[in-house]
């Protein structure tokens, strides 16, 4: 794979990998939507597309809308062979989650906050977007595998829990399904790589766990993302299973 786009939401999540790749900021690319960084690795072009900073609130633009915009711009202008949604995520003690573990998406990526009880739209709401087969890569690189489920909330409510338990998801984030949706519509292979900062069924508040573990998990994410890039670069699109 000669062109790999990595879509990320928070600058703190991206900081270790930008340093490790000696990535350089690109200017003039849809500055209200994204902050682009580029790097070369083993003669492949790597794009790190950060989903920008909110103009009014001044915070990193987390969540599905910025992720979809950013992914669209990345595919339209960079024409990647593969898109990786990389970042931190929540897990569950009940699903064997451990803070600092890194997961690669397996099976599909779903939404757990889009409940549409109308014929045909139920499945549209859940999404179940395809992901690249990555079990062999996961076994070699020591990654966990699981279904990634997305919503725009850090916590989970009782309705979310019903859809999460129906999908059997192991990882909970705020972007992967939006990135995967755009990838499916634009016929670009997709994978998610997520490092766990918090366990949402643990008695300590999710936000407190997230803040305490963000830096450590971002370093773990960077280490594994480099290994994933090195795995993908020599391979062809159909050469993953
Ligand atoms: N990113 C890190 N922790 C998360 C959580 N609990 N839910 C969604 N996204 C997250």
Per-residue pLDDT tens over the stretch 115-150: 999 999 999 999 999 999 999 999 999 999 999 999
Query: Rounded to an integer, what distance in angstroms lies between the CA atom of residue 157 and that of residue 103?
Result: 23
pLDDT of amino acid 239: 79
Burial 29-46 (b: 16+ CB within 10 A, else e): bbeebbbbbbbebeebbb
HSE-CB for 194 with a 13 A CA cutoff:
33
Q: Which pLDDT value is given to residue 234?
A: 95
CA distance 220 to 224: 6
Prediction pTM value: 0.97
For ligand 1, is residue 90 a contact (CB within 6 Å)? yes
C-alpha of residue 87 to centroid of ligand 1, in Å: 9
pLDDT tens digits, one per residue of 178-207: 999 999 999 999 999 999 999 999 999 999
Of ligand 1's listed atoms, the one at least distance from the Cα of 209 is 3
Flag residues of the chain having pLDDT under 50.
none
What pLDDT is attached to residue 241? Answer: 62
Q: How many residues does the chain have?
A: 241
For residue 217, what pLDDT is reported? 98
Q: Is the CB of 17 under 6 A from ligand 1?
A: no
Q: Which atom of ligand 1 sits closest to the CA of residue 154?
A: 7
Instruction: Name the residue with tokens 């794009």.
Output: 47
Ligand 1 site-directed mutation target among 13, 192, 200, most atoms within 8 Å of CB: 200
Ligand 1 contact via 172 beta carbon (within 6 Å): yes
Partners of 130 in beta bridges: 108
């Amino acid at each position: 794979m000669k062109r790999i786009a990595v879509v990320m939401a928070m600058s703190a999540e991206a900081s270790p990998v930008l340093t490790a790749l000696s990535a350089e900021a690109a200017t003039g690319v849809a500055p209200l939507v994204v902050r682009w960084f580029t790097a070369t690795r083993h003669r492949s072009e790597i794009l790190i597309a950060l989903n920008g900073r909110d103009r009014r609130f001044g915070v990193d633009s987390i969540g599905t809308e910025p992720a979809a915009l950013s992914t669209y711009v990345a595919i339209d202008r960079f024409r990647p062979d593969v898109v990786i949604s990389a970042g931190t995520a929540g897990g569950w003690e009940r699903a064997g989650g451990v803070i600092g573990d890194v997961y690669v998406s397996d099976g599909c990526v779903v939404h757990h906050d889009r409940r549409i009880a109308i014929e045909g739209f139920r499945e549209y709401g859940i999404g179940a977007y395809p992901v690249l087969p990555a079990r062999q890569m996961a076994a070699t690189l020591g990654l966990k595998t699981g279904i990634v489920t997305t919503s725009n909330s850090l916590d989970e409510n009782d309705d979310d829990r019903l859809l999460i338990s129906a999908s059997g998801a192991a990882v909970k984030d705020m972007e992967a399904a939006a990135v995967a949706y755009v990838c499916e519509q634009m016929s670009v292979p997709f994978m998610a790589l997520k490092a766990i900062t918090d366990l949402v069924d643990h008695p300590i508040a999710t936000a407190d766990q997230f803040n305490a573990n963000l830096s450590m998990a971002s370093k773990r994410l960077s280490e594994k993302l480099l290994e994933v890039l090195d795995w993908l670069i020599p391979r062809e699109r159909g050469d993953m299973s």
